[in-house]
Structure formats: structure tokens, C-alpha cells
Chain A
Amino acid sequence: MAEDEPNGDVPGIQDGPYTGPRATDFTPEPDHSDDPGYVTRTRFLSNVAIAGGGVLTAAILVPVVGFAVAQPLKGEDYRWVYIGPASEFLKNPPPYANPSPSTKIGEVTSLAVSGPDPDADRRIYVVYGLKDPGSRPQPEPGEDSAVFESRFAKWASGLTAADFDLIAIWNRCAHLGCPVAYSPGSAGYVCPCHGGAYNSRGLVTGGPPPRPLDRVDIKIVDGSKSYTAEQIAKGEDRVPLAVAATSSNPNLQVLVGKPYSIDQQQETFPLADPGVPVSGTLSHMYPFT
């Protein structure tokens, strides 16, 4: 009978147990939903959308933030500003030539010097005076005036041009930037905002300022001569103060330039913001300036 003939093509029907493929052997299509590392099409497209959105956002924000922030961070360009003839600032005869106890040593001239911005309304005090104002003898209480005068004359006779210098003091208070005023009575500068007090050279004598008043570079040049920019940068155009103080050359001019900061020992530092100490422990809080 045809029905009894062995069906050779289908295994397992007649020759023992079934050995063909079973339902349990079925391998499903790989499902990567539990594999966080596998990038599906949806996840890929999402990432592309996020990255593209980020690029577009950055394309808008980077120029805007740079426009708002980068420009103010640029430094100032300084140029030398003519403030007057040397005779106006160096008194003739110079103060060390035969001073009397009533001679004012350390004349202060107040000048408006606008910075790079005309509205900045910067003001400097030009001081031609003793490098060490404390060395000047002061009458002691109960001292005979003749004794004091002889003491003063002894000190005055030892003075030389090297004991004097010409400095320009910026009137920006080193505490928080209010304008200081020169007070002739105390021969110093006083800040109206928080009571910072400075001596005639701008060194702190009291109050909250963390460093002395900032100074502005000042030089005397001979206006009748011309120098190249390189020579000016090297300082070859500068007339020494001791020469200028005794010179009768009418072409001597006084120029002021770039501001800088000093500490209480009058060491120079790059210009710092008000409230920022330039030397000492606390200056390390401002590592990038």
C-alpha cells in the first residue's frame, strides 16, 4: 500500500522520535530594547536631532555671548597725553633750592585727563615733591623756633634733585573707585565714600583701601626733538627729572600715559581694579589679572 511506504523525505515520522526543527528552537528577531549600547534607528535620529539643535543653538549663542562679553574684556589702548609745559609743574627755582620752613614741598596740580572714553572724566594729581615726605623735619612741641629753623636748614642743605620726583596720581580710590579729593590741610587725599585716606604720594594712611592710589606714567620730553616709536617705547625721549628741573629749555613738555598700580612699598604692578590688593596674601585671590 502506498500509505505504508516509508516517507523518506520527512524524518522522524517512522524512524524514532522527531529530530527536526522545533518551535523552541526559533530565534526571534534581535530586540535591542534592553541593550543600552545598541543604537537603534530611532535613537540615532534622536541623537542627530539633539546634536543638530545644539549646533544651531551654539551658532546663535556663541556670537551673541561673544558680542556681549568679549569686547568689554579688551584692554584699553593708552596714548601719551600732553598736559602742559614742564615749567608749570616743575617750580623754578626748584623746591630743593634753598627752601624755608614755609615752602610747600610737594605741589599738587589737579588735572582733568580724559581716558580713552571722553566721558570717563579721569582726573590726575601731578605731584612734584619729596620721594620721602616723612623726612621733612616737623617742629616738635615746645621746640624753640630758632632751633627748629636751624634743624630745617641743615636738612634742606642736604637736599638734592635725586630726593624729588614727579608723579601723577589717579584720583580713583583704590577701595571701590570713588573720586578722592586732595586736601591741602592734611597734605593728602581723602575719599568721600568710605573714608579712605592717603598721604601726598597716595600711600594709604587710613581707612579700607587695600593698596595705594594708582599712578599714571608721566614723562618729560623735549618737544623740539622728534623720536621714532621704537625710541619712545624704549624711553629714550625722556628728559631726566634732575636735568629738567634746572633746565630753562622752554620746549620741555609733560606727558602722561598708561596707569599702573603700586603697593605700599611703591613697587609697580599692572593696573588692577579697585578693591583688589596687588601684593600680599590676598593678591593670590586674583590669579588671572
Chain B
Amino acid sequence: MTTKDIGPKNPVQKSADATIDYVDERSGVKTGTRWFLFRNIPEGTSWYQTLGFTAMVVFGMQAITGIILAMYYVPDTRGGAYESIQRITEEVTWGWLVRGMHKWGASVMIIVVFLHMARVFIWGAYKYPRELTWVTGAFLLLLTMFMGLTGYLLVWDQKAYWATVVAVNIFASAPIVGPYIGDILRAGPEFGPATLSRFYSIHMLVIPGAMATFIGLHLYFIVRLGISEPPWSKRRLRIERDEEDARREAARERAKALPGAVTYPATWPVKAEEGVR
């Protein structure tokens, strides 16, 4: 037998493999995929760790439905913004569905992002060496909230208008720079057509770009550092117990070294504070 006989006989699979090999040789896509997806994960990994991915999926859904909605939405205050949304909801085929997905997806994204943050916080998964993952996540949270604010105005009905007036004025009442932020957000001293265009641009161009960047960074950190162990991981508990034992032992040693120290029986627990005293 020669080595040429090794491998699939199926010509379809053969050509598929050849294509993958062609791409892989030039891009390293196989290595990249293995690096990105086929990682070792700690014992005890559970559904809790899927919240971040869920948030990313919802972001993807918001992006896709938003792109489609932008094909029908007209950001014009003089008869256009409100009317085009009425048209999307009432007339366009499946417009009610896509708009509903985008509208409810926004709420779902906020909820999922907060659940994800709560999981990370309660598990202590933000600790060394994952601080920068947390920081990029915090930026993503801010961007998500700002996405909600800018998207809310686009409906351009009374509720959207006045709710956004109030929200922008809350920004504007921040100390020192507040009035400038208000003017920049409003595109002037008053709400008007320029405000809607500005919010539309921020909502569909500025923030999505920033969010994609930060999601990329967030993922890079996760892949580089690996996902954290749950707090009840046996390995982590063992490490923490060993650290605690080492601390107690060190305190005991310090207590012994002190002048006039009593030699405690080894079975006595000695607290670190007592040792120092």
C-alpha cells in the first residue's frame, strides 16, 4: 500500500478536504478555529457560562433585523419617521415580525447582559487575570444602554420624544460638562430634525461599530485566558484551602518568632491577627 491510499475515497469529500486544505495552507484557518473553539474548559462548566454567548446572539439578531428595518425607515421628522414605522408595522410583509424582534430583542439584550454581568460578578470571574475582560464588558454594557436610548427616539411618537428629552436633559444636568453633552446629543439647544438624524446615525453606525470592536476584544480575552472555574470547583476550593492553610502556617511561624511567645499546641487554630499581636 502506498500513502496515496490513505484518506477518503468519496470524491465529494476529497474535493471538500482539498478546498479546506487549500484555504488552511494559506490562512491557518484550522489552527485558528481550534484555538478559538476547541479549548479546554474547567470542570463544572454549566449553562451559566452560556449567557455571554446568548447576549452575542441577541446582538447579532439586533444587527440583522436592524439592517432590514433601515431599508424601510425614513429618519425624517416632517412626516416620515413615525409614518414609516406605521408602514413597517401595518403594511410591509412580516414588518410587524421584524420590528417586533428588534423591539423585544432590545429588552432581551438588556436582560441577558445584566444576567451575564451578575453571573460574572457573583462567581468572582472578573478577578485576576480577567480584569480587562470585565472592563471591556463594562464598555459593552454602556454601549448597550446607549443603544437603547438612541433607538427609543427613532419611533418618534410622543412617548419616544418626551422620554428622550428627559433622558438627554439628565445627561445635560451632569456637572461641568453636562450642558455641552446635552447640546452635542441634541445637535443644538432644541430637539429637532437634526437630533433624529444624529440619533439614527449613532444608533446604526457609531455604536454598532464600537460594539463589534469591543465584542472582538472581549472574545480575544476570553479565548486567551480561558473561562473561569465556578466557585464550587473542587480544584479551586483545594487551591483556596491550601492558600488558607499556608496563611495560618505563616501566622503560626510569626507567632513563634515573637519574643515571649507561647508555643501553641499544633492543633490550636491560630488566627493571623493573634499571630501578629
Contact = CB atoms under 8 A, between A and B. Distances in A.
Contact of A72 (B173, B175, B188): B188
A117 B166 contact: no
B191 interface: yes
Contacts of A272: 179
Given A117-B190, A176-B165, A275 B173 contact: yes
Interface in B222-255: none
B170 interface: yes
A176 B191 contact: no
Contacts of B176: 285-288
A234 to B, nearest CB: 26
Interface string A86-121: 000000000000000000000000000001110110
Interface string B135-175: 00000000000000000000000000010011011101101
The binding surface of chain A is classed by DSSP as loop
Given A117-B188, A178-B162, 19 more contacts: A68-B184, A72-B183, A72-B194, A74-B188, A75-B189, A116-B190, A119-B191, A119-B192, A176-B165, A176-B169, A177-B165, A179-B162, A193-B162, A193-B166, A273-B173, A275-B169, A275-B173, A276-B178, A285-B176
A56 interface: no
A148 to B, nearest CB: 43
Interface string B176-187: 101110111011
Contacts of B184: 68-69, 72-73
Interface in B43-63: none
Interface residues of A, number: 29
Contacts of B78: 119
Nearest first, the 6 A-B pairs at minimum CB distance are A275-B173, A285-B175, A120-B190, A117-B192, A176-B169, A273-B172
A74 B180 CA distance: 10
B163 to A, nearest CB: 9
Given A72-B186, A285-B175, A119 B169 contact: no
A272 B187 CA distance: 16
Interface of A: 68-69, 71-76, 115-117, 119-120, 122, 176-179, 193, 272-276, 285-289
Contacts of A72: 183-184, 186-188, 194
Contact of A276 (B172, B187, B191, B192): B172
Nearest to A282: B175
Contacts of A275: 169-170, 172-173
Contacts of B194: 72
A69 B180 CA distance: 9
Nearest to A276: B173
11 contacts: A72-B187, A115-B190, A116-B190, A119-B78, A176-B173, A178-B165, A273-B172, A273-B178, A275-B173, A276-B172, A287-B176
B172 A73 contact: no
Nearest to A273: B172
